[in-house]
Each structure stands twice: as structure tokens, then as C-alpha cells.
Amino acid sequence: MGPLAAVGIEFLVNPQDEGRALAALPLAMSVVYLPAIWASVSATPRRRAVLRGVVVVSIAMVFVSLPFLGATLAVVLVPATALLAIAGRLMFGR
């Protein structure tokens, strides 16, 4: 949620030539990570399922945005996606 929310807030506070409407895209994309934050903070029996679902959506966002934004968004989302995959035991799981 961090980098996308930071970019969206930056566009809201200091709008470029495109205006404040450009802030809607990164802010909407950062909302995807709220269920993962909730599942990590609270004790829920569906924690792994929620984390895996957010990983899938995060990977889908990368592939959908590649034609429009190039590799920029992929580089921004790789750390968050990797951490979610590790937490959801998609990687290095038992």
C-alpha cells in the first residue's frame, strides 16, 4: 500500500499538469492491499486465503498495467507482492 498511496497523495497535494484526477488510479490500486493488512493484524482463520487472494490481484495488476505503464509499476509492486507471497506461504511454505 505504501508506494502507491504515497504517489496518490503526492498527486493530491502537489498536482502536476494532469491535475488531481490522476491521483485516483494509484489510490484505488493501494486499496487492494487493505484486506492483507487487516488479515495480518487481526487473528482470522482465513489469513492465508486473504493473503493469497491479494497476491493474485497484485500480480494481475502488474500484467494489466504493463502495456500502459511499462515495467515501472512492476518494479514498484515487486517488494509488496513478494512479501505477501512469503506471508501467504506461496513461496518457502511448508
Please give the pLDDT value at position 61. 83
d(CA 20, CA 81): 27
Q: Please report, for the chain, the start and end positions of each structural domain, with discontinuous segments joined by +.
A: 1-29, 32-94
Cα gap 15→43, rounded to integer Å: 39
pLDDT tens, per residue, the chain with 94 residues: 567 777 777 777 877 776 777 677 777 778 888 888 888 888 788 888 888 888 888 888 888 878 877 787 778 778 877 877 787 776 665 5
Residue partners of 73: CB distance under 8 A and separation at least 6: 61, 62, 65, 66
**pTM of this prediction?**
0.70
| Helix then strand then coil, % of the chain, to nearest 5 | 75, 0, 25
**What is the structure's pLDDT at 2?**
67
Distance CA 1, CA 35 (A): 11
